[in-house]
């Protein structure tokens, strides 16, 4: 039985621009910590090879420290062979990132596949057929050479590639880094380890995307995992088992809010998420219409209080419209030019044909908030 761990798209050095610097540091550190979890899983499951199917690094211009950080974590698991493949974020170029890495030296248990030719491991009965990318984008299938690549008889042939498997139409040839999903059949591969898609996905019985070891976006389905692949011999279909590697969970909620009760229900839902909330990133999309008082209540309860429970809370309230009540307007003023301005803003905010209705809604909400602050100070 040959066992491998299939992972990809570590993208060490990735920048998360939508969060603050402190949170970005946590997310970047988690991507490094997940490498150690991969090593631990390999030891626990008696895995001899970990295949990293491209995009080990997020970009080519990285500091020596960033280049060495993943290598030092792999070094600790000396009985495991780590296979690194250049991807579209970190292609192998002359005098580029991988030349820097190799010039400084890599641990003995780390293999950098910079050329597309089989690497034979006779003691394991395994041949790894890598498809290293030389450019960020190419219209040639990087796995095409595998069909003619010679390996010893009876050897388990494992492909390692980074690219896109799309539909099966005539336009496939125009997709950058396109990989033929039938490559395992045409090249006699027992397994094809793919990278590029950050979510885990089965293409066929012998071709899988592992997904990124740490989820890195809200729209990624099946991230934060790797694949444990068990192969009996060269002629069998491998057994593929997803294993958890991620630290953070990324969750999306879409909620309708039209009253204070709806807000209270949402508060309970968010606080009721299982597990450590500090390991959760939430994208919250809300829509509806609420009074100015309830809009401020939403800000107090969700944006200021509940958000503190999570690693990160992103609120999209572009479709949460104000529906000012008479009481709201009376709170601002019962008469005079301030009330007259509030009435005009209310009218404009409710007119969806008015190009300034969103600005009017924000101005009315700000007028209400500032007036309530003045009332608080005067008490």
Phi/psi-derived region of residue 154, left when phi > 0, alpha when psi is between -120 and 50, beta in every other case: left
Supply the pTM of this predicted model.
Answer: 0.84
Question: How is residue 237 written in tokens?
Answer: 């279909």
Using the structure block, give the residue that is written with the tokens 């070094």. 75
Of 150-154, 266-270, 288-292, the range with the lowest mean pLDDT is 288-292
Average of pLDDT values for 97-114?
A: 94
For residue 168, the model assigns a pLDDT of 46
Average of pLDDT values for 92-102?
A: 91
Question: How is residue 310 written in tokens?
Answer: 């999570």
Q: How does DSSP classify residue 192?
A: E
Average pLDDT, the chain: 89
For residue 357, the model assigns a pLDDT of 73
Q: How confident is the model at residue 170 (pLDDT cuts 50, 70, 90)?
A: very low
pLDDT above 70 as % of the chain: 87
Gap between the Cα atoms of 328 and 343, Å rounded: 11
- Go through the domains of the chain in sequence order and give each one's CATH number: 2-244 (3.60.21.10), 249-378 (no CATH)
Gap between the Cα atoms of 216 and 27, Å rounded: 8
Average of pLDDT values for 255-277?
A: 95
Of residues 338 and 194, which shows the higher confidence score?
A: 194
Gap between the Cα atoms of 212 and 221, Å rounded: 10
Asked whether 85 and 195 are in contact (CB, 8 A), the reply is: yes
Of 35-44, 72-81, 348-357, the range with the lowest mean pLDDT is 348-357
> How many CB atoms within 10 Å of residue 279?
14
Phi, psi for residue 194 in degrees, rounded to 5:
-110, 150
């Amino acid at each position: 039985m040959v066992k491998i761990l299939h992972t990809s798209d570590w993208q060490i050095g990735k920048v998360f621009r939508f969060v603050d610097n402190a949170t970005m540091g946590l997310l970047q550190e988690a991507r490094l910590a997940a490498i150690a979890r991969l090593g631990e899983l390999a030891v626990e499951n008696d895995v001899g090879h970990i295949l990293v199917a491209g995009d080990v690094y997020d970009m080519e211009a990285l500091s020596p420290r960033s280049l060495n950080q993943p290598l030092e974590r792999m070094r600790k698991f000396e009985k495991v062979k780590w296979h690194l493949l250049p991807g579209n974020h970190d292609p192998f170029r002359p005098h580029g990132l991988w030349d820097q890495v190799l010039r400084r030296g890599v641990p003995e248990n780390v293999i950098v596949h910079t050329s597309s030719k089989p690497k034979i491991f006779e003691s394991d009965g395994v041949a790894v057929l890598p498809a290293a990318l030389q450019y960020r984008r190419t219209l040639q299938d990087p796995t095409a050479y595998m069909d003619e690549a010679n390996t010893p008889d009876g050897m388990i042939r494992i492909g390692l590639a980074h690219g896109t498997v799309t539909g099966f139409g005539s336009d496939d040839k125009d997709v950058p880094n396109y990989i033929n999903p039938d490559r395992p059949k045409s090249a006699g591969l027992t397994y094809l380890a793919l990278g590029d898609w950050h979510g885990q996905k089965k293409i066929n019985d012998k071709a899988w995307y592992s997904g990124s070891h740490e989820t890195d976006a809200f729209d990624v389905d099946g991230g934060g995992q790797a694949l444990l692949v068990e192969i009996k011999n060269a002629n069998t279909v491998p057994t593929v088992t997803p294993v958890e590697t991620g630290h953070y969970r990324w969750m999306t909620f879409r909620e309708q809010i039209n009253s204070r009760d709806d807000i209270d229900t949402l508060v309970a839902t968010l606080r009721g998420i299982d597990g450590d909330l500090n390991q959760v990133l939430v994208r919250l999309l809300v829509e509806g219409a609420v009074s100015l008082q309830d809009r401020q209540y939403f800000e107090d309860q969700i944006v200021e209080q509940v958000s503190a429970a999570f690693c990160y809370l992103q609120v999209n309230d572009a479709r949460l419209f104000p529906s000012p009540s008479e009481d709201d307007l009376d709170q601002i003023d019962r008469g005079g030019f301030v009330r007259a301005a509030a009435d005009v803003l209310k009218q404009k905010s409710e007119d969806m044909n008015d190009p300034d209705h969103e600005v009017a809604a924000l101005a009315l909400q700000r007028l209400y908030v500032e007036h309530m602050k003045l009332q608080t100070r005067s008490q």
